[in-house]
């Protein structure tokens, strides 16, 4: 049954004004992980970076693995939302905000990882290419300087891209709220009244940002790949790394988006908005990216095997059938062998099926980032310099804290912003989509949102 504009506004604003016990339990668990990470980082500052398992020659390990992983996850929202918006795909309306929020939070978490890695975070400003008298910085030939520009630009653009479509929804919350909350949302709504002129300017701004953010998103993970391919480490000095990293980023990003949507659909009772058709369409995209990922993974190993360079073959065999072989084959099973049959079958490409496939893919993509970094550093050109790496509890805790921070930021976001765009869902009610349908003042039910009983389809 199609919902009316009043029902849409009621359903989607309800989680902002009412909080369940399950929500506070989830916030408590996520906060505990974050606090554990803060404690581990404090211990690292006190004892030094030596509490990590990194050593010569493995100076990059869990930290850079998490950095590349989270920057990859950030491609979920911007690329999917921007491309679907430019293509005017109407089925994207309930999906876009979930995706755009993932982008911003993943960039924030990924950007904090280098601060933990540098050992002396109070000197982090040295990474900023500001004019100085030292004569040694900024070094614009360094990929680290490129990372700074790329990630800061991507974060700024993603925040704007997330904020613009939320302005009309902030106005809806403003009209329903009272007291201090009303003042906060009045400021966030920027005086929004829903006039045709405001709608026209908002549509133009969103269209411009959608066009601008796509090349920025692609360039960001390409530049991250250059951190590796600009070196002479075996298996890194490869021209395929640019598209390989971008494909992997989109692959992991779509999987993270599907997981977030499945959880929100269950916790916030959004079954009428996040429908099986959305998971089916995203599952098709995920299937395409799984095939592309397999192609690039095969091409990378194939060229190394065909070249038969001793240094690269040492890394090749240690990954395929020696020390790192279990992780490699787990990665292949998680990213291709398990999800491909699920996503290729229309009968299995359901909400549950796509969520299960996405769980495997997220795990597999983290392992892939680890296998790109550690085996190559373990086995450099000369065998006498080979080493081993074992993570410590500090690295494990910081990694768990990054996932906890993602969950915490997402949970807090659901209490301030409707996770499904109210005004875009109203647009979908019109036979000729344009501006959202207005809600007459006498039919508004804001008092019901604030004071009414919990409907049976939303109750725990």
**pLDDT digits 0-9 by tens, 44-75:** 988 888 888 888 777 888 888 999 999 989 87
Q: Which residue range(s) make up the domain with 220?
A: 10-129+137-231+245-286+391-428
CA separation for the pair 271, 291 (Å, rounded): 30
**Is the model's pLDDT at 24 over the cut of 70?**
yes
Q: Would the pLDDT of 238 be above 90?
A: no
State the Cα–Cα distance between residues 48 and 120, nearest whole angstrom. Answer: 9
Classify residue 112: in a domain, yes or no: yes
Mean pLDDT of 400-405: 94
Total domains present in the chain:
1
pLDDT for residue 356: 94
pLDDT the model gives residue 447 = 38
Indicate whether 317 belongs to any domain.
no
Q: What is the pLDDT of residues 142-201, one digit of tens each?
A: 777 788 888 888 899 999 999 999 999 999 899 888 888 889 999 999 989 988 899 999
Please give the pLDDT value at position 12: 85
CA distance 192 to 172: 9
pTM (predicted TM-score): 0.86
Checking if the pLDDT of 429 tops 80, the result is no
Q: Is the pLDDT at 456 greater than 70, yes or no? A: no
pLDDT score for 458:
38
pLDDT, position 236: 84
Judged against a pLDDT cut of 80, whether residue 457 lies above it is answered with no
Task: Write down the pLDDT at residue 441.
Answer: 40
Residue 344 has pLDDT above 90, yes or no: yes
CA distance 386 to 388: 7
pLDDT band per the 50, 70, 90 thresholds, residue 1: low
Residue 361 maps to a domain = no
Q: Which segment of 89-98, 113-122, 337-346 scores lowest on mean pLDDT?
A: 113-122
Whether 202 shows a pLDDT value over 70: the answer reads yes
Least confident residue range of 43-47, 382-386, 455-459? 455-459
131-137 own/partner pairs: CB under 8 Å, 24+ apart? none
pLDDT band, very low/low/confident/very high, at 438 (cuts 50, 70, 90): very low
272's tokens: 């009428």
- Spatial contact of 328 and 320, defined as CB atoms under 8 Å apart: yes
Distance, CA of 76 to CA of 358 (rounded, Å): 13
- Confidence bin at 131 (pLDDT 50/70/90): low
Q: pLDDT band at 459, cuts 50/70/90?
A: very low
Q: Is residue 55 part of a domain?
A: yes
Phi and psi for 194 in degrees, rounded to 5?
75, 30
Longest Cα separation, the chain:
80
Residue 367 lies inside a defined structural domain of this protein: no
Mean pLDDT of 239-250: 88
Q: What is the pLDDT of residue 137?
A: 61
Asked whether residue 26 carries a pLDDT value surpassing 60, the answer given is yes
Tokens at residue 44, please? Answer: 């690292």
Average pLDDT, integer, range 411-439: 75
- Pick 383 or 348 by higher pLDDT: 348
Question: How would residue 132 be classed by pLDDT, with cut points 50, 70 and 90?
Answer: low
**Is residue 292 assigned to a domain?**
no
Mean pLDDT of the region 113-133 = 75
* Cα 412 to Cα 181: distance, rounded to the nearest angstrom: 15
Phi, psi of 238 (to 5 degrees): -140, 135
Query: Is residue 13 pLDDT above 70, yes or no?
Result: yes
Percentage, residues of the chain above pLDDT 90: 33
Q: According to the model, what pLDDT value does residue 335 have?
A: 93
Whether 61 is in a domain gets the answer yes
Mean pLDDT of 384-390: 73
* Averaged confidence pLDDT in the chain: 84
pLDDT of 452 = 43
- The token pair at 18 is 């009412």
Rounded CA-CA distance 126/144 in Å is 11
- Residue 299 included in any domain: no
Q: 285 pLDDT exceeds 50? A: yes
């Amino acid at each position: 049954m199609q919902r009316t504009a009043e029902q849409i506004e009621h359903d989607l604003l309800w989680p902002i004004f009412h909080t369940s016990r399950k929500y506070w339990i989830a916030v408590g668990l996520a906060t505990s992980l974050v606090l554990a990470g803060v404690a581990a980082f404090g211990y690292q500052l006190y004892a030094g970076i030596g509490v990590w398992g990194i050593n010569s020659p493995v100076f990059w390990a869990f930290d850079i693995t998490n950095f590349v992983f989270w920057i990859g996850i950030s491609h979920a929202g911007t690329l999917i939302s921007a491309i679907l918006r430019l293509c005017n795909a109407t089925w994207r309306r309930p999906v876009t905000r979930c995706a755009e929020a993932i982008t911003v939070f993943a960039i924030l978490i990924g950007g904090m990882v280098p601060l933990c890695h540098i050992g002396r975070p109070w000197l982090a400003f040295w990474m900023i290419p500001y004019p100085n008298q030292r004569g040694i910085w900024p070094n614009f030939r360094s990929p680290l300087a490129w990372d700074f520009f790329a990630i800061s630009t991507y974060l700024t653009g993603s925040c704007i891209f997330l904020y613009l479509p939320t302005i009309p929804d902030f106005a809806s919350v403003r009209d329903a709220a009272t007291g201090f909350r009303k003042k906060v949302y009045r400021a966030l709504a920027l005086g929004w009244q829903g006039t045709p002129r405001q709608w026209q300017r908002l549509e133009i701004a969103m269209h411009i940002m959608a066009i601008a953010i796509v090349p920025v998103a692609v360039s960001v993970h390409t530049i991250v790949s250059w951190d590796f391919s600009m070196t002479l480490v075996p298996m890194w000095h490869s021209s395929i790394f640019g598209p390989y990293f971008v494909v992997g980023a989109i692959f992991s990003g779509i999987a993270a988006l599907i997981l977030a949507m499945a959880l929100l659909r269950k916790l916030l009772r959004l079954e009428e908005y996040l429908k099986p058709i959305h998971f089916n369409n995203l599952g098709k995209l995920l299937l395409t990216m799984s095939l592309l990922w397999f192609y690039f993974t095969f091409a990378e190993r194939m060229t190394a095997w065909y070249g038969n360079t001793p240094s690269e073959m040492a890394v090749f065999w240690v990954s395929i059938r020696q020390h790192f072989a279990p992780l490699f084959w787990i990665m292949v099973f998680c990213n291709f062998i398990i999800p491909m049959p699920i996503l290729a079958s229309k009968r299995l490409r359901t909400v549950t099926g796509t969520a299960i496939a996405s769980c495997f893919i997220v795990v597999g993509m983290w392992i892939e980032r680890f296998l790109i970094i550690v085996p190559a550093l373990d086995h450099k050109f000369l065998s006498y310099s080979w080493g081993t790496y074992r993570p410590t509890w500090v690295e494990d805790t910081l990694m768990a804290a990054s996932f906890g921070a993602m969950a915490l930021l997402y949970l807090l976001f659901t209490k301030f912003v409707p996770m499904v765009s109210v005004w875009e869902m109203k647009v979908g009610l019109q036979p000729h989509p344009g501006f959202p349908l207005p809600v007459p003042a006498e039919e508004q039910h804001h008092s019901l949102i604030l004071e009414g009983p919990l409907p049976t389809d939303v109750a725990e």
